[in-house]
Structure 1
Amino acid sequence: MTNRAILGMAVFFGIALQPFSSVVAEEEPLILTNNYWPPYKGETLPKGGIITDITMQALARAGYEVAVAIVPWNRAYAGTVSGRYHVITAIWSTPEREKEIEYSNPIVSSRIVLIHRSDYEFTFNSLEDLRGETVGVTAGYGYPEDFQNADFFVREESETLSLSLRKLIFGRTNVIVAEEIAARYAVATEYPDAVVSLKYSEIALQENPMHVAFSRARPDHVEIRDRFNEALDEMRKNGTLKDILEFHGVSRLMQ
């Protein structure tokens, strides 16, 4: 698919954005991938989701025209590494990924927490509290290495976060691990009757800074990163970032 074809697709979805600045770095737009991880990103979410909204505004402030390609996560990541796409949103940093893509400064903090039903007595302080449990996990999530390697509890994998939550809500598992904001959003939108019946651990299994990443296949990727970081810093200082979080209803959860 050519860059112009992808731009056409972006216009079809109504989510291409013209730059706020008159400075445009390239004749053709940066191609940003958007897949489905609500409320962080997703073509059906308001303004493409929280991190997509932040990314689009920051890139526009930095003087870049942006087009959006809707592709699955695996294809989005591989395409960003290869240079087919230029920007990938809402991504955690790992040593392996750091060798392949260029990361922005952290945008928000993402908490991986333990979730249980209120009628199940459970308190999480350390991995030892999971001894003997069957713990629900979701395919494709990047869990901490010590959690992955522990052999004193069972991990039961579900294909999606929604399925993992369903097992928890209907008693097939007692505890699951999930990204907090994504889980709260999924419960509120898919299982609203269960909102008051679930508890989230105060202590996180892990806290991950969430980033935007840029393709190193582009020779100007460092310049794109630096200009993005400058725009993001400006948005943080002038209150734009806070306004975006308030618009998406997560400002109190993501300070």
Structure 2
Amino acid sequence: MRRWIRIMGVAGLLLISGANAAERLRLVADPWAPFTDVNLPNGGLATDIVSTALARAGYVTSYDQVPWARAILGLGEGRYDVLVNAWYTDERTRIGHFSGEYLLNRVRFLKRRDAPFDSWTPSMLHRYQVGVVRGYAYSPGFDADAQVRKVQVQNFSIAARMLAAGRIDLILEDEYVARNHLALEEPDVRDALEFLAQPLSENSLHILVSLKRPDHARVVERFDAAIAAMKADGSYYELLRRHGF
């Protein structure tokens, strides 16, 4: 009898340990201030919202910050559980389960101040070189337009310097991200650039949960419910205020 009790006790501990492990999530994002950045309070606005919602949903989280391509690869391979900052694309549904929208990003073009245009049309873009961050999605129409001469770069700061130097004609970025980066640039870069008024798109921001997790649908369901509860009790809007939004 005592041996049976000991066996049952060990089995119970293993079950508890397994349950605890299942409730842990490895979050990942690329540096994308002011939304995701380890140098900002609580990792930036998006990281703060996501980690707070997942904690309310009953999960313990850890966070890694890596380049975008590595984050996507790691999520697809199951080395990470949750990509914090994902715009929707059909291609990404092959590796992850999207949550509902928890933020909205406004994507805008930037040009040199001395460029002889103040607006854009889809056909006009075919005449210019546009700097884009490798692996990013901007809008379905723009991403699929093979006639746009897209110059892939590693990050926005490189694109901004290339634009200021006249090596490309336009760049794209979320408005808040661009303003955050430009504030850190040298005046010869920052003061040389300006936004075009018409945005390219407004993209909803989601978490993307790796399909390698058998419970990916449950994670998304609990996250979405937590976001709804945070909006209902006002804590969601308090986070926006704390981060200056």
Question: TM-score under structure 2 normalisation?
Answer: 0.80
Q: Deviations over 1:58-99 (max 9, x none)?
A: 011111111223443333323323333211100111111113
Displacement after TM superposition at 1:194 (Å): 5.3
Match of 1:61 in 2: 56
Percent identity reads: 34
Q: Deviations over 1:143-175 (max 9, x none)?
A: 445435546653333332101101223443342
Counterparts of residues 125-164 of structure 1 (less than 5 Å)? 125-148=120-143, 150=145, 154-164=149-159
Give the letter aligned to residue 184 of structure 1: R
Displacement after TM superposition at 1:123 (Å): 2.6
1:27 to 5, 20, 24: 20
Distance 1:199 1:26, change over 3 A: farther
8 A contact 2:110–2:193 mirrored in 1? yes
Structure-2 separation of matches of 1:65 and 1:153:
43
Structure-1 separation of matches of 2:126 and 2:90:
29
Match of 2:99 in 1: 104
* More displaced 10-residue stretch of structure 1: 52-61 or 38-47: 38-47
1:124 to 110, 119, 122: 119
Count of residue correspondences: 226
2:207 to 205, 209, 212: 212
Displacement after TM superposition at 1:188 (Å): 1.1
Unaligned runs of 5+ in 2: 1-17
Whether 2:233 is the aligned partner of 1:238: answer: yes
Distance 1:151 1:106, change over 3 A: closer
What root-mean-square deviation, in Å, do the aligned CA atoms of Structure 1 and Structure 2 show? 2.5
8 A contact 2:137–2:143 mirrored in 1? no
Distance 1:150 1:57, change over 3 A: closer
1:52 to 47, 55, 58: 47
* More displaced 10-residue stretch of structure 1: 72-81 or 218-227: 72-81
8 A contact 2:68–2:135 mirrored in 1? no
* More displaced 10-residue stretch of structure 1: 182-191 or 167-176: 167-176
